[in-house]
């Protein structure tokens, strides 16, 4: 990896994002955490599921970000020798990324945020990666409903350190909001959301 002066953003599956109704909601470069004597910067792209948000606004008068996906490429200042980075830094990077992701979920207003387990999954690029699964809840006053959410986070090394993840509803949104005949976009099951998120993560490089 290179120093912060030459940070590059990760490659994401733009065609899949466009086809799925996602829009880019954030693009930034910032120091994501500090290691002893090293600053770790992340070049991050974040996307939200605009199609689902538009559907709930139009059909239930509820505004929310129901799903998000992000990918970040990490760099180190000063530069870390590549031969040492994977063996010694990946476990530290993974642990710090988990802590930051959990804080991000909490800071975004979600409640009951908890990391429930880690499991190895193949996410589309030929490697099995340890992914941490999170649970959280999105609470509304009008209507008075709590929507359970699931989140996944992965960190791996592929010619550089990459971090990616996101979150989605654990139940179909339309019935939760009391809609008798919701459009198809609001009837999707958690298994569909999970598969789509893992496919997006698998397209990060």
Smallest CA-to-CA distance from 140 within 83, 81, 65, 75 is with 65
* Cβ neighbours around 26 below 10 Å, total: 11
Q: Which two tokens stand for residue 77?
A: 């200042």
Q: Which two tokens stand for residue 192?
A: 């569909």
Instruction: Report which secondary-structure segment, H or E, holds 68.
Output: strand 68-77
Q: What are phi and psi of 84, to 5 degrees?
A: -100, -20
Rounded-to-integer distance, Cα 114 and Cα 103, Å: 10
Rounded-to-integer distance, Cα 62 and Cα 78, Å: 46
Could you give the strand order of the β-sheet that contains 38-49, starting from the edge strand earlier in sequence?
A: 22-35, 38-49, 68-77, 161-169, 145-157, 128-140, 111-122
Q: Which two tokens stand for residue 152?
A: 């996944």
**72-to-95, 97, 100 alpha-carbon distances in Å:** 15, 10, 12
First to last CA, the chain: 14
Q: Which two tokens stand for residue 94?
A: 């993974």
What integer pLDDT is reported at residue 133 of this predicted model? 97
- Which band of pLDDT confidence, cut at 50, 70 and 90, is reported for residue 87? confident
Query: 């958690």: which residue's tokens?
Result: 190
* pLDDT tens track for 16-72: 999 999 999 999 999 998 888 889 999 999 999 999 999 999 999 999 999 999 999
Task: Classify each residue of 62-82 as buried b or exposed e, where b means 16 or more C-beta atoms within 10 Å of its C-beta.
Answer: bebebbbbbbbbbbbbeebee
Average pLDDT over residues 158-184: 94
* pLDDT tens track for 24-34: 999 999 999 88
Rounded-to-integer distance, Cα 65 and Cα 48, Å: 7
Confidence check: pLDDT of 4 > 60: no
Q: Report yes or no: 24 and 45 within 8 Å, Cβ to Cβ.
A: yes
Round the CA-based radius of gyration of the chain to a whole number and report it: 18
The domain in which residue 102 lies consists of: 4-202
Number of domains in the chain: 1
Mean pLDDT rounded to a whole number for the chain? 91
Confidence check: pLDDT of 7 > 80: no
């Amino acid at each position: 990896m290179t120093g912060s002066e030459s940070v590059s953003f990760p490659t994401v599956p733009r065609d899949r994002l466009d086809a799925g109704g996602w829009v880019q909601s954030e693009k930034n470069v910032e120091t994501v955490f500090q290691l002893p004597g090293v600053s770790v910067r992340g070049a991050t792209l974040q996307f939200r599921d605009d199609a689902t948000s538009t559907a709930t606004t139009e059909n239930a008068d509820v505004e929310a970000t129901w799903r998000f996906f992000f990918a970040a490429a990490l760099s180190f200042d000063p530069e870390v020798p590549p031969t040492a980075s994977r063996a010694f830094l990946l476990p530290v990077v993974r642990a710090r990324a988990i802590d930051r992701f959990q804080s991000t979920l909490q800071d975004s207003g979600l409640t009951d945020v908890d990391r429930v387990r880690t499991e190895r999954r193949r996410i589309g690029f030929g490697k099995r990666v340890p992914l941490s699964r999170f649970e959280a809840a999105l609470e509304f006053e009008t209507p008075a409903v709590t929507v359970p959410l699931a989140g996944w986070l992965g960190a791996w090394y592929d010619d550089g350190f990459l971090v990616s993840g996101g979150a989605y509803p654990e139940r179909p949104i339309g019935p939760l909001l009391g809609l008798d005949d919701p459009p198809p976009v609001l009837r999707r099951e958690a298994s569909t959301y999970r598969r789509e998120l893992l496919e997006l993560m698998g397209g990060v490089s």
